[in-house]
Amino acid sequence: MMKIKLLLLFLIIGNVFCHSQTHDIEKNIPEHRTYEELEKEFYGSRAGEGNSKSIADSYLKKAKSEKNISHIAEGYVMLHFDEDLPNALKYLDSLQHITQNSKENTYPARTYLLRGNLYFRNDNLQSALNNYILGLKYAKEKGNKRQIAMAHISIAYLNNYIGKHAETAKVLRHYAYDADYMNEVEKNSLKLNLADAYIEINKMDSAYVLIQNGLQDSKKNNDVYRYYQNLGLLGYYHLHSKNYQKAIDGLLECEKYFFTNSSGSKRNQHYTLLYLGKSYAGLQEKEKAVDFFRKIDSMVLKTNYIYPELRDVYTYLIDYYKENGDKEKQLYYVDRFLKVDQVLDTQFRYISRELPRRYDTPELQQEKENITNELTKRKSLFYIVLSLLLISHLLFINFYFKYKKSEKNYKKIAQDLIQSVNENRVGKNKDSEFKKETLSEPLPIENTVNSEDRTTRTISEDIAQTILRELEIFENKDQFLNKGITLGSLAKKIKTNSKYLSEIINTYKGKNFATYLNDLRIDYAISRLANDRKFRSYKIPFIAEELGYNNEQAFTLAFKKRTGTPLSIYLKEIENMSSN
């Protein structure tokens, strides 16, 4: 029984294990993976490394089985990287055919830019330029900023080829630092090539900073390939600075890396040998220099990779064998030089002629148009701003003159008020005596206007006289300065009701209670401010409180409403007249 249980247990475990293995195998089959996973693996490694070819094949097979046009297109792109020129061109032709009706804004510019890069890698610079120009044209039509950038950068490398290093540096610097749509990998590549351009134009400090940053960053991120790219460029930096031994030390490390395990591109291999040869030539170790230059010639014969510095290689070899009297080898390298020089001359003349005509001139025309449009906009904006300034200036002038006129009126009112206060001061005693006499006698109601018209029949003449006498006392004793006075509180004080008091004030004073109280307080303020220097030296909030107001704002508003001039101008005029 125990044996049967164990057997069943082993069968279950074995089944689970086999299922797990089958699941893992299926997961690792490219066709069972997503497009995103395949793309990540393919573009995560450099072309020609690992199983990139099989990944691209599986990607295209999967896309075709699903009839997915956009992914079929991507499959052709992936496949062209690992092929020689003729086959790679076939894949790009297929890409162009399948995307001819594409609504994506990446096509057809992407096809031309890829074709341009392919020709550039295979040293057909004329065809590379033609495709870059077309790629730029279509990228601009679709408004694709990244593709426009890629076209400009690629053309900048061609400018570098014909010796326009300063122009190259300008373009690379812009896209390395001012284009937020470039990713980190692209920016690192731009900075590497920018450092190279800086060395060519003798901006050695700037080049050194970029190289050191590249070395540190690649080491930190364990990017071995980029580390050796920067190390090779550091070798060129030392060569240019005539620190030949330092250059050699670093370049020998690069040689070991770039010539093993298919780690280096043709360019990396050629330029590593070139800089080593030149460094040894700088140390006058001619045999070692010749050794490296002969290796370069062998590689040129195999790869047909031709670049401008080969002229230096062959002239050095020719001079070396001439010095050693080896006519046969001298003749051989003269012949090699002439063949390479013919290719270089053809490419140089074509690029030098076509770049200004087909790229620089249109770009300058576009720039001119942009500048013209910008200036037109600025001109329009200038006139708008000028018009607004003129209008605002006229409004300001108008406001200023109105203000001055108002200020003049305010001053006049203030001066009249002060003069009135001064005149009242002279006749104050007589007025006081007159007021005492009138308070002892009933007020002549009939002398103002018909009492029947001014007061209702409900208030007898005796009551009206009594209220008026109480109001007279209220005014003469400055009781209106007390805070919190209301119609009800005053009516209670003078032993009448609110209705009678309100009617008497409206009839005999010609105003409502609130206006009556305000006018008394402001009239008091006008007089006291003019006569009492100490009182007007107080701050406005204190004065307002003394006059029975709750706050400064209520007082200043009431003052202007009553007098027709602001309190500030009244106080200023008092001081002016006092000093005069």
Across 434-460, average pLDDT: 46
Please give the full DSSP string across 68-83, using - where no structure is assigned. Answer: -HHHHHHHHHHHHTTS
pLDDT band at 531 (very low <50, low <70, confident <90, very high): confident
pLDDT beyond 90 at 244: yes
CB pairs under 8 A, 24+ apart, for 200-209? Answer: 200/160, 200/165, 201/165, 201/166, 201/169, 203/169, 204/237, 204/240, 204/241, 207/237, 208/237
pLDDT band at 23 (very low <50, low <70, confident <90, very high): very low
**What confidence score (pLDDT) does residue 344 get?**
85
**What confidence score (pLDDT) does residue 393 get?**
82
Across 295-319, average pLDDT: 91
pTM, full prediction: 0.59
Residues 544, 548, 554: CA angle, nearest 5 degrees: 50
Across 287-291, average pLDDT: 95
The rounded distance, in Å, linking the Cα atoms of 341 and 349 is 12
**What confidence score (pLDDT) does residue 41 get?**
85
pLDDT beyond 90 at 334: yes
Higher pLDDT, 570 or 9: 570
Q: At residue 569, what are phi and psi to the nearest 5 degrees? A: -70, -40
The rounded distance, in Å, linking the Cα atoms of 304 and 336 is 12
**pLDDT exceeding 90 applies to what percent of the chain?**
41
| Among 466, 457, 459, 473, CA closest to 495 | 466
201-215, 323-337, 391-405: range with lowest mean pLDDT: 391-405
The rounded distance, in Å, linking the Cα atoms of 485 and 518 is 11
Beta-carbon count within 10 A of 203 CB? 18
* Cβ contact 439:469 at 8 Å: yes
pLDDT beyond 70 at 11: no
**What confidence score (pLDDT) does residue 45 get?**
67
pLDDT beyond 80 at 1: no
pLDDT band at 261 (very low <50, low <70, confident <90, very high): low
Q: Say whether the peptide bond before residue 108 is cis (omega within 30 degrees of 0).
A: yes
pLDDT beyond 60 at 195: yes
**What confidence score (pLDDT) does residue 365 get?**
58
* Cβ contact 442:465 at 8 Å: yes
Q: Which of 6-10, 429-433, 468-472 has the highest mean pLDDT?
A: 468-472
**What confidence score (pLDDT) does residue 426 get?**
58
Per-residue CA distances from 255 to 28, 232, 276, 307 (Å):
36, 9, 9, 19
pLDDT beyond 70 at 442: no
* Cβ contact 484:465 at 8 Å: no
Q: Which two tokens stand for residue 118?
A: 């392919």
| Among 91, 123, 131, 116, CA closest to 266 | 123
* Cβ contact 235:215 at 8 Å: no
pLDDT beyond 60 at 63: yes
**What confidence score (pLDDT) does residue 392 get?**
82
**What confidence score (pLDDT) does residue 449 get?**
43
**What confidence score (pLDDT) does residue 418 get?**
83
Q: Which two tokens stand for residue 4?
A: 């049967």
Across 573-578, average pLDDT: 84
pLDDT band at 25 (very low <50, low <70, confident <90, very high): very low
pLDDT beyond 70 at 24: no
Please give the full DSSP string across 331-342, using - where no structure is assigned. Answer: HHHHHHHHHHHH
**What confidence score (pLDDT) does residue 163 get?**
85
pLDDT band at 16 (very low <50, low <70, confident <90, very high): very low
**What confidence score (pLDDT) does residue 146 get?**
92
Across 169-175, average pLDDT: 93
Per-residue CA distances from 444 to 385, 450, 469, 471, 518 (Å):
69, 11, 12, 15, 26
Mean pLDDT for all residues in the chain: 83
